[in-house]
Chains A and B, each alone.
Chain A
């Protein structure tokens, strides 16, 4: 435990931090007693320490305050809202790294810690990865307290609980599991916390780390947890009965369970008129099928079953393909890979040179490839439509999952034509159906079927009276006002 002799204690702490220059320690003599404070200046705010601690200590030095026991007096009187005492080194190191200032009093084995954190984040800014036109614009940040606050200020019910687990031997990252006590499935919460506690890893740097630990079978390419940087979506999910996991230093929170249907939704859906959103949702669903299957269908039809294509279209396709030296499937594959390279480079490239990508992508690879006779113009259209449809989905993991299946459909179609395509479709659906998380099927509410008023078509919000039954047992979402009147 902590040695009451503070000189030895400080020596020990200094030795622990080695050559790191950001550890600041200072001894102060008050009457005959010595106290010492130390903090890490990289994570602490000098102003706060001067204002709230040094100024106050000055009063002791000037003997304006009388006391019997210095330790007790300091503990009671230091003007800091977040003051606590610790009595072991592990906690001291954690507090120091969190931006606390530790105050050691000679002869006591307990240490007073006060909060003097400096703000090392960019503040609440607009969401960058999930754009919406109409609705709240704020987004989660890297600051854990702010993230919790963004949720707490939206849901003021004390039944909104946060359970903290510290994960990571070295990073000691705080992971909070948020849920509404009387809405969420508490067994699922317990299960998640149990699994979080089991994680024994040196460091957790983003919520993406957690995701892989919570899933035992991660063979499927489709993401099983929805992640978002939008607090409004997180709260929407909490109210539905889902569980939200917030990880310190990560602006992306996990929504559990993430179902297939969630990836076709946008939080904005609830802010617009239901009847208009229905059309948007249908287009989104359609584009999911387009982006997964269109290259496959194109290859299957043109190379195996041209009978289905209308006369004039077929003739024009055949004329366009004249002189292209590669098989259709290779043509498509080349263009898909080209697009993926473009997309990846567009993400990685610094903003300044972003325009170059557009020029190279559109002109050189599209126009020139056709003129040179390497690919036929229709293939550009096929890939264009496929890729643009894929961009409708905000979750990167989901888009990447789609990419796998696009390849699988393409391969199946180019080997067996329409037969291969249909076989692949059956496998695809069977694969999706077989996924489940804690008893909740991935394809719910379609398979198994549940009555859900907000799956693809959305009822007006005043008609959705119940929560989906597969998410919550406490189903009453809206009470009938008519009964009271």
Chain B
């Protein structure tokens, strides 16, 4: 009898699940992208909602395909509450994949925006963080891409894959950003994004019907931070140098001048290691490379010519690294973490200089750079076409 009673009760338990952390998927508004802009009295937070009905049904011509909700508030969570008033579903940020911060916010200091996302237990801390250079961060979230279903996915994979191969940008996960921000003797950098084209037209699905989209989101150079404040943006070559030192580069394209033209090499497995002393830093760069394009008349079968080319590439690589260090020194921010290495090596020494490290010591810090490139392959053909034509 007791058993039957229990058996009768069990099915009812199925439907009495209103407790702890329970949510049906269709009651959630899954936010995959977040943008933080400046507003009059605080922040404007925008969320890209991925599971809108519009995504399911093909939207009508001229209508936006995605939904971006915005809310204003003094703090991030107040702005989020503001969005809650608009959204009929519960906001869910567990699957956030990118967060874009406008550079106006970054220039004033990011610190007030960071706590919320780190504290929220729902959020995973692996999403990428990037700056919106020139444009409103909200607009970047709206730009549709013909290759991905959601703008946020487009931005996410753009950051992930192109930063590995272009060396201009870098992928910075939220957790790592916070870690760098808090580390002793280390400043941080963030990649930036710009909109190329007309953002109003680019956010409409009609933009996707043409072979060249009306607007695209493009990765841009690194923004240099001092503490939580954005100071300046590096140029493309400076960004390359910075990324090389920070070991953020897997492969990159390097060009050099040669007889009557330009040679391009693709660098693979670039290994950077550096050793700090109290006065200077030794940076060693090792890499293998293969020739990707050669428009010169040099005889590539000659090993002396190859050594010459290697030397020439090494010089250019060195030049990039020097540019990277120079821009950091000029802006008095140790984005490479030399100070952090110094702290690990000589903790007492570093503690005594930590207040003046960025402003006085780092700008005058000496550096020696060794670059070593091995050309391993010439691709499918041996000599260059130009050489064959003229020779």
Contact = CB atoms under 8 A, between A and B. Distances in A.
Interface of A: 302-307, 311-312, 314-315, 317-319, 321-324, 327-330, 333, 407, 410-411, 414-417
Given A306-B92, A311-B32, A311-B95, A318 B13 contact: no
10 contacts: A306-B94, A314-B25, A318-B25, A318-B51, A322-B51, A328-B24, A329-B14, A417-B20, A417-B21, A417-B22
Given A307-B94, A314-B30, A322-B26, A410 B50 contact: no
A315 B97 CA distance: 13
A314 B95 contact: yes
Contacts of A327: 14-15, 17, 24
B22 A303 contact: yes
Contacts of A330: 14-15
B10 interface: yes
A303 B20 contact: no
A229 B186 CA distance: 75
Given A327-B24, A414-B14, A319 B95 contact: no
A318 B30 contact: yes
A311 B93 CA distance: 11
B14 A303 contact: no
A411 B16 CA distance: 10
B14 A411 contact: yes
B331 interface: no
Contacts of A319: 51, 55-56
A377 B39 CA distance: 43
B25 A328 contact: yes
B17 A414 contact: yes
Nearest to A332: B14
Nearest to A419: B20
Interface string B14-50: 1111011111111010101000000000000000001
A22 B59 CA distance: 82
B165 interface: no
A321 B27 CA distance: 9
Contacts of B21: 304-305, 417
B235 interface: no
A414 B10 CA distance: 11
A304 B10 CA distance: 20
A319 B17 CA distance: 22
**Interface size class for chain B?**
20 to 34
Contacts of A411: 10-11, 13-14
B122 A322 contact: no
A304 B94 CA distance: 12
Given A314-B30, A318-B30, A307 B124 contact: yes
B368 interface: no
Contacts of A323: 26
Given A312-B149, A318-B25, 12 more contacts: A303-B17, A303-B23, A304-B21, A305-B21, A315-B30, A317-B25, A318-B50, A321-B25, A322-B53, A328-B24, A411-B10, A415-B17
B24 A306 contact: no
B113 interface: no
A58 B92 CA distance: 99
B153 interface: yes
A441 B280 CA distance: 70
Instruction: List the 3 closest A-B pairs by CB distance, nearest first.
Output: A318-B51, A321-B26, A307-B94
Given A306-B95, A315-B51, A410-B14, A321 B24 contact: yes
Given A318-B51, A330-B15, A311 B25 contact: no
Given A327-B15, A329-B15, A303 B24 contact: yes
A322 B149 CA distance: 18
Nearest to A309: B95
A306 B28 contact: yes
A303 B92 CA distance: 12
Contacts of A312: 149, 153
A45 B225 CA distance: 104
Interface string B145-173: 00001100100000000000000000000
Contacts of B92: 306
A323 B122 CA distance: 25
B41 to A, nearest CB: 33
Contact of B28 (A318, A324, A414, A415): A318
B89 to A, nearest CB: 9
A317 B92 CA distance: 14
B17 to A, nearest CB: 5
A309 to B, nearest CB: 8
A9 B316 CA distance: 122
A303 B24 CA distance: 5
A315 B26 contact: no
Q: Which residue among A305, A324, A415 has the maximum number of chain B CB atoms within 10 Å of its CB?
A: A415
A306 B25 contact: yes
A419 B55 CA distance: 33
A348 to B, nearest CB: 24
Interface string B83-122: 0000000001011010000000000000000000000001
Contacts of A315: 30, 32, 50-51, 55, 95, 150
B96 to A, nearest CB: 9
Nearest to A323: B26
A306 B25 CA distance: 8
Q: Which residue among A305, A312, A315 has the maximum number of chain B CB atoms within 10 Å of its CB?
A: A315
A414 B95 CA distance: 22
A315 B94 CA distance: 12
A223 B53 CA distance: 49
Contacts of B22: 303-304, 417
A311 B30 CA distance: 9
A416 B16 CA distance: 11
Contacts of B11: 333, 411
A142 B219 CA distance: 78
Nearest to B52: A319
Interface string B336-348: 0000000000000
Nearest to B51: A318
Q: Which residue among A319, A323, A333, A417 has the maximum number of chain B CB atoms within 10 Å of its CB?
A: A319
A307 to B, nearest CB: 4
Contacts of A410: 14
A414 B150 CA distance: 31
A414 B21 CA distance: 11
A33 to B, nearest CB: 68
Nearest to A322: B26
A179 to B, nearest CB: 37
Contacts of A311: 32, 50, 95, 97, 153
A366 to B, nearest CB: 20
Nearest to A301: B25
Contact of B13 (A302, A305, A314, A415): A415
B297 to A, nearest CB: 51
Given A314-B95, A319-B51, A416 B24 contact: no
A322 B88 CA distance: 13
A371 to B, nearest CB: 15
Contacts of A318: 25-26, 28, 30, 50-51
A305 B122 CA distance: 9
B94 to A, nearest CB: 4
A151 B189 CA distance: 79
Contacts of B55: 315, 319
